[in-house]
Chains A and B, each alone.
Chain A
Amino acid sequence: MKKVIMGNHALSFGAMLSRSQVIAAYPITPQTQVVELLSEMCASKALNAKFIKVESEHSAMAACLGAALAGARTFTATSSQGLSLMHELLHWASGGRMPVVMGNINRAMAPGWSIWTDQNDSLSERDTGWMQFYCASNQEVLDTVIQAFKVSEKLLIPSMVVLDAFALSHTYEVVDIPDQAKVDEYLPPFQPQFRLTPSEPHAFGGLTSPEHYFEFRYKLQKAMEKAPALIEETGREYEKMFGRYLGLADPRSCDDAEIMLVTSGTAGYTAHVAVEQLRGEGFKVGNLRMKVFRPFPFDMVREIAGRVKKIAVVDRNISYGHHGIFYQEVKSALYGMKNAPPVFGYIAGLGGRDITPKDFGDVARHAMANERPEEEIFWIGVKK
């Protein structure tokens, strides 16, 4: 059934269709609509779930972890300050192998207070052992939530479904909301490998000496390594049932590109528009909109990079003292590759500054005009 809904509500519908059983969430702009709609769904029994109205994001994640350990399917959503408040517990979720799914609205970190979009909040959590999916349409958001549950529960790794503040969270788009019965068929109830119950008592997460800790973490990494293939396989199953395939990335016009943009989030769709325009003007430009950031899809990136002459990564984030984060990771993925193309790194749109097709045009022309980058960082639109 098609409905015109906002990105936040796409998260709510995804959580509802996935039959989440315990939701614990705390409001934060621009996430509030996610939990407001979920509250209504729980109250009207459209969703049979317990909604714990916790008193902070830290408690939200703590409650989700307790519920996940009991064997329930859990969901929460947050943004920027709230996500950072949960930070300690993000490590807990992955280390404890609890498959929580969380929606994160990418919002710039304070100070100063900003409610607009950039990616530093979620990317600051890239080392916590969570899978990260970056969406650029409300349809993608809804579809990704359902698939995230399936992949997370299979691998016992938590995942976050990420969308831009306002540009996606509050933007209304047509979304095809799948039929509950079909989703049930695709995503059966959670079958935990282990759970907390007095009938088989264990102590979970106790003191772990150097004799054992290393192996537990080795197991987590090994599971993450299985994720790219599983995401693609799960995606193909989804495509068979619902007609839409997500996969690890959304490449456009990359096959014969001389310059390939690398983007994520809604800026990725803007870049698609720019690529069309530039192609019309005769530039051989392509765009790789990355969807899965963790696990990092090394094989996919290397394969596509092998076919292009130059890469221009546009980051809506930065790791201070270093560079844009997608830039760093793409560049390091290509290290040692024969004929690896030069990688140009651009920072744009921090704090919600608009990124336009013209900006991508400037990026493409700049990369075209230079054999290799003469500087590490190119800033788009900063009033210097």
Chain B
Amino acid sequence: MKKERTFKFTIPEEELMNPGHLACQGCSATQAMRYVLKGLGQKTALCIPACCWAVIDGPVPYSSLEVPIYHCAFETAASSASGLKAGLEMVGDTETTVVAWAGDGGTFDIGLQALSGTAERNDDIIYVCYDNEAYMNTGIQRSSATPYGAWTTTTPVKHFKRRPKKDIVAIMAAHKIPYIATASVAFPEDLIKKVKKAKDIKGTRFLHIFAPCPTGWKSRPDDSVKLARMVVQNCIFPLFEVENGERYTLNIRPKEKKPIHDYVRLQGRFRHLTEEQLQFMQQETNHNWELLLKKVDAK
């Protein structure tokens, strides 16, 4: 062995998520959970609607997490969390952080109304959306978070998804909530920093975490972190924060935007795209990036 050295921990050591869970190999939804719980600590309560995590945690009578979970109805992640927080405060617990933990389906689509209500009231919860860009738990059907060009079982190759990904951050910013942040599982230190920042803020906080899904994206399980890194480097999924719905702060400004092709060709869900369609995707990415920079640079 080499000279005496210590193991380098760049994120908190404490594990609040245990192995034995039912996630697929290379699942980034579990990385997201592992990191968020490291940031929040054990005094946390999760409201998990129907989504992959409703199954990943394990069936009754088991659980993988060291924190309590309320498995709630699909559309109710935000409303359940609002109620849970109110209830905990009324029974004397004002310290437990209540987190609504939903996938993109339960956030962008069926859960959007409840999320909007909670955000408009500025209820004191953290809403985390882990985004694998489709309804993965039910077998890879499209959601409004599915990006342009993707194959899903309901957007087969002949009718691949043409509508763009819904801009959930813009929707949340319109509610003027105190804190919104995007994060990627490839940057756990940044993710956890944002989680800790969110924890100390009162009101509705929204975290949008990019979480690759090998099963749904037809990508290699060992590529998940790489994909989550590329998506930041090519500006498809920039890492930024929005305070009070108005102040935009960019966390990583790539000196050189990488082209999207390398990212796209690692995923089977984009395999059918022609060069022309890839160009369209690149233009869409460039356009969205420019719009974001305008918001960031506006003083």
Contact = CB atoms under 8 A, between A and B. Distances in A.
B90 A21 contact: yes
Band of interface residues on B: 35 or more
16 contacts: A55-B120, A58-B76, A59-B82, A62-B75, A62-B83, A67-B86, A67-B90, A69-B70, A70-B87, A195-B91, A196-B45, A196-B84, A203-B57, A203-B63, A207-B54, A207-B59
A77 to B, nearest CB: 16
B52 to A, nearest CB: 12
Given A74-B87, A203-B71, 10 more contacts: A50-B89, A56-B114, A59-B78, A59-B114, A59-B117, A62-B83, A62-B114, A65-B72, A66-B83, A201-B69
B88 interface: yes
Contacts of B93: 70, 197
A44 interface: no
A71 B139 CA distance: 36
Contacts of B86: 22, 24, 50, 52, 63, 66-67, 70, 72
Interface of B: 42-45, 47, 54-55, 57-63, 65-73, 75-76, 78-91, 93, 96, 113-114, 116-117, 120-121, 123
A84 to B, nearest CB: 15
Contacts of A209: 59-60
Interface residues of A, number: 42
B68 A208 contact: no
A52 B186 CA distance: 37
A70 B96 CA distance: 11
A89 B70 contact: no
Contacts of B67: 198, 201
B113 to A, nearest CB: 6
A53 interface: yes
Contact of A207 (B47, B60, B88, B116): B60
Most chain A beta carbons < 10 A, residue from B71, B72, B86, B121: B86
A53 B66 CA distance: 32
A71 B92 CA distance: 10
Contact of B90 (A22, A54, A63, A202): A22
Contacts of B79: 24, 54, 58-59, 62-63, 66
Contact of A203 (B65, B82, B91, B117): B65
Contacts of A71: 87, 91
A68 interface: yes
Contacts of B58: 203, 206-207
Closest 8 CB pairs of A and B: A66-B83, A70-B87, A63-B83, A67-B87, A55-B117, A66-B84, A62-B76, A59-B79
A70 B62 CA distance: 20
A201 B65 contact: yes
Given A52-B123, A203-B63, A203-B65, A66 B71 contact: no
Interface in A320-375: none
B73 to A, nearest CB: 6
B54 to A, nearest CB: 7
A49 interface: yes
A55 B63 contact: no
A64 interface: yes
B60 A206 contact: yes
A206 B51 CA distance: 12
Contact of B88 (A53, A58, A63, A70): A70
A66 B88 CA distance: 9
A92 interface: yes
Given A66-B47, A196-B68, A21 B121 contact: no
Contacts of A201: 63, 65-69
Interface of A: 21-22, 24, 49-50, 52-56, 58-59, 62-72, 74, 88-89, 92, 195-198, 200-209, 212
A62 B72 contact: yes
B55 A69 contact: no
B113 A69 contact: no
Contact of A198 (B43, B61, B83): B43
B36 to A, nearest CB: 15
A56 B45 CA distance: 24
A69 B87 contact: yes
Most chain B beta carbons < 10 A, residue from A24, A53, A56, A203: A203
Contact of A89 (B68, B76, B120): B76
A304 B203 CA distance: 57
A21 B89 CA distance: 10
A64 B201 CA distance: 24
Nearest to A20: B90
Contacts of A62: 72-73, 75-76, 79-80, 83, 114
Given A71-B91, A72-B90, A198-B42, A205 B71 contact: yes
Contacts of B62: 203
Most chain B beta carbons < 10 A, residue from A24, A59, A212: A59
Contacts of A200: 68
Contacts of B120: 55
A58 B75 contact: yes
Most chain B beta carbons < 10 A, residue from A52, A197, A198: A198
Contacts of B68: 196-198, 200-204
A69 B85 CA distance: 10
B90 A203 contact: no
Contact of A66 (B43, B44, B60, B82): B82
Given A49-B90, A53-B121, A203-B71, A198 B82 contact: no
Contact of A59 (B45, B61, B76, B87): B76
A198 B96 contact: yes
A320 to B, nearest CB: 27
Contacts of B121: 52-53
B44 A198 contact: yes
